[in-house]
Amino acid sequence: MAIPTPHISAKKEDIAKTVLMPGDPLRSEFIAKTFLKNPVLVNDVRGVHGYTGEYNGKKVTVMASGMGQPSIGIYSYELYNFYDVDAIIRVGTCGSFHPDLHARDIIVAMGACTNGNYAMQYKLPGTFAPIADFDLVRRAVEECEKAGVNYKVGNIFSSDTFYDDANSGMDWAKMGVLGVEMESAALYCNAARAGKKALCICTVSDSFIYPEENTTAEERQNSFTAMMKIALNLA
């Protein structure tokens, strides 16, 4: 496919080898303008903001994915396969199922369960288990320890539905799944197929255990800086 792609208007040299990928375009803008030196807007197709700048002397791109597996599936596929990106680190939000995780704590998603059919395209004779890159997981844990944040490493649930008629979220908790979001499984599938690296780091924005701690949209956009710094240090 030619560059620019249907969804990314950047030139190939405009995109760094490591991309931080929040879901929210406004969080992408916040990260770029708060932490990057000389950030430049390199993509704005469909309002999906992508910025490239420097962090501690390294070239880094921050670009939004939108919501859901189909959306991150498109952007991460094009970044891996057409822009030669080596690693994508999702910096997202999630709902927590675990009693030891409170609002603003962090989940490092070692694996991603899903109720979606994204992996069916590979026509495998069984069920594919999407997992993160181990080196990124290991380094993320080290950064969490340095930052002194409360975190857990484990499975996350990538749901295709936000409003779940069956209300099945807590069913996943009995299998040790830590929380729910909507993107990681597709990202991990694309990374596996492309032979590239991926990791999802999520800040707990909502809790199924402690609903009184749930955060606002503005807080989710602008205040989860511990996760952002951890991801930037990985990049």
Active site residue ranges: 206
15 near 5, Cβ under 8 Å?
A: no
Q: Where are the beta strands (DSSP E) in 35-192?
A: 37-43, 50-55, 58-63, 87-96, 106-114, 151-158, 179-181
Phi first, then psi, for residue 76 (nearest 5°) are: -70, -35
Q: Are strands 50-55 and 58-63 parallel, antiparallel or unpaired?
A: antiparallel
Residues 6+ apart with CB under 8 A from 209: 96, 97, 98, 99, 101
Question: Looking at the chain, which runs of residues are DSSP E strands?
Answer: 18-21, 37-43, 50-55, 58-63, 87-96, 106-114, 151-158, 179-181, 197-207
Contacts of 125 (CB under 8 A, 6+ apart): none
- Nearest CA to 26 out of 51, 52, 59 is that of 51
How would you classify the pairing of strands 18-21 and 87-96? parallel
Q: What is the DSSP letter of 216?
A: P
Are the C-beta atoms of residues 95 and 207 closer than 8 Å to each other? yes
